[in-house]
Amino acid sequence: MTSPQRRTIGLIASFLAFQGAWFACVLGAARGRPDLGVTLVLLVCGIQLALSAARREELALAGAAVALGLIWDTAMLRSGVVDYASPGPVHGWAPSWILALWILFATLLRGPLQWLHGRTLLAALLGGVGGPMSYLGAVRLGAGSFKNLEEAMLVLGLGWAVITPLLTELARRLEASRKKPLEILFGGSILVFDRQDASAGEHL
């Protein structure tokens, strides 16, 4: 099997894992068992992390996504745009299963959605449409509710039109920093280390 074929299979597997974990998380929350979905999300992300050659970048991206998700979905909850099923232990804050979905979304940004890197407008368009549709799908499955559908779609669309380009740009920069050689000044020489294969060369 060639390298492109392996990559294609990996991308498909990543997307299918995302879909399965997303449904488990949403349906678990709808039925009062958010722990089941969160556990599956952590399992899927843990496997992807174990297989990744860029664990540091994966963790940094996931951490940024969770932080942004905590701010965004807490704001949506407190403003009354969205009311989530299975609220978390801390009243007024985004529940754990929602934050798990943000971690899950981060796994797409260096995989199936990597083609969005450097394409800000396209990322904004995809986020502005796909983001609200994801919330709508979760609501229809019983994982939440909208007080006003049209208002919620508008607010979520505008928000995700900003969030998606931000996260894709972060993913792109993390990937670029990983590929950039590490240069260290040592004894009047510059030692150049390849971050990907750990090989080193010396330039006088």
Task: Express each pLDDT in 21-64 by its tens digit.
Answer: 999 999 999 999 999 999 999 998 888 888 877 788 889 999 99
Residue range 182-197, pLDDT digits in tens: 444 445 555 444 544 4
Report helix, strand or coil for 198. coil
Strand segments (E) across the chain: 82-84, 144-146, 182-186, 189-193, 200-203
Helix axes 3-30, 120-140, angle to 10 degrees: 40
CA distance 179 to 150: 44
User: Which one-letter DSSP state was computed for residue 83?
Assistant: E
Domain ranges of the chain: 3-203
User: Tens of pLDDT along 58-100?
Assistant: 899 999 999 999 999 999 999 999 999 988 778 899 999 999 9
**Higher per-residue pLDDT: 122 or 201:** 122
Stronger pLDDT, 161 or 8, i.e. the higher one: 161
Q: What are the angstrom distances between the C-alpha of 56 and each of 18, 64, 75, 200?
A: 20, 12, 29, 20
